[in-house]
């Protein structure tokens, strides 16, 4: 049964794979035997992650919101390895602002990256996977794809992640006939570059109180779920949104 979780011989593209959760996923996939392609906009950071991965892995400069960039990245991967088996749509950005103040440009930037980027990468990866007769697509959603923050404000981010959940379900249904499973992971509160400034704040403590495990997630906490969904062990798992949140979404959050 252990072999069912291995990724030997598979080729995986992790968008936003040069830092935080994305880098942790990339490292875990490499350890499980996959050839990993790190996709990100910053070549120097991509290269630093590939150096950690070791020989046999690849970096591509990728802007997920630019269809030509996505198309070229997939073509580069197929030229290098002859296939693409796993896509992790991890690239994402956030924007904290009131709906009454949020600039249209900021709204579009978040939706373009979080939602349109996942759509474009899925579109071009699925074409290759369909030709192969198999593939795995994993979308990194959020607990704010299942609910909304208590004071609102994360308008574009919350809308984009709800839409990623919908994208997961509709694509899971369509692509199943091509041997492709599409699932999502909904992380809770994790310490990453985007949330590092919250360490030591009252908000950090508030999240700990709401979360049954009593702590925030670290990047390594998500890799087990990602490896499972990418592996043969998940061949009959499709259209699922898996919270990885320490129980946050199971709790009503009330102090008693």
pLDDT at 1: 59
Q: Would you place residue 197 in the very low, low, confident or very high pLDDT band (cuts 50, 70, 90)? A: confident
**Between vectors from CA 28 to CA 24 and to CA 29, what angle results, nearest 5°?**
120
Instruction: Share the mean pLDDT of the chain.
Output: 95
**Three-state DSSP class for residue 213:** coil
pLDDT at 155: 96
List the domain boundaries for the chain: 2-244
Q: Would you name the residues annotated as active-site residues? A: 157
Q: Which segment of 67-76, 125-134, 217-226 scores lowest on mean pLDDT?
A: 217-226
139 closest CA partner among 108, 110, 116, 155? 116
Mean pLDDT of 203-209: 91
Mean pLDDT of 64-87: 98
> What is 2-244's CATH number?
3.40.50.720
Query: For the segment 147-188, what is each residue's pLDDT rounded down to a tens digit?
Result: 999 888 999 999 999 999 999 999 999 999 999 999 999 999
């Amino acid at each position: 049964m252990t072999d069912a979780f291995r990724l030997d011989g598979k080729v995986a593209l992790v968008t936003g794979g040069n830092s935080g959760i994305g880098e942790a996923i990339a490292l875990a996939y490499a350890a499980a035997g996959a050839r990993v392609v790190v996709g990100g906009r910053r070549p120097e950071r991509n290269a630093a992650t590939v150096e950690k991965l070791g020989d046999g892995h690849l970096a591509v400069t990728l802007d997920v919101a630019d269809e030509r960039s996505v198309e070229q990245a997939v073509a580069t991967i197929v030229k290098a390895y002859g296939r693409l088996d796993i896509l992790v749509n991890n690239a994402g950005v956030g924007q904290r602002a009131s709906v009454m103040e949020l600039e249209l440009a900021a709204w579009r930037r978040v939706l373009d990256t979080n939602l349109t980027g996942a759509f474009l990468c899925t579109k071009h990866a699925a074409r290759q996977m369909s030709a192969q007769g198999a593939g795995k697509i994993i979308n990194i959603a959020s607990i704010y794809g299942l609910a909304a923050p208590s004071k609102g404000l994360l308008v574009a981010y919350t809308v984009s992640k709800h839409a990623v959940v919908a994208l997961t379900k509709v694509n899971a249904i369509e692509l199943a006939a091509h041997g492709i499973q599409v699932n999502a992971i909904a992380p809770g509160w994790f310490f990453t570059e985007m949330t590092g400034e919250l360490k030591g704040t009252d908000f950090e403590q508030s999240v700990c109180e709401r979360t049954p495990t009593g702590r925030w997630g670290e990047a390594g906490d998500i890799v087990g779920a990602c490896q499972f969904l990418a592996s043969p062990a998940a061949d009959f798992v499709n259209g699922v949104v898996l919270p990885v949140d320490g129980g946050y979404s199971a709790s009503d959050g009330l102090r008693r």
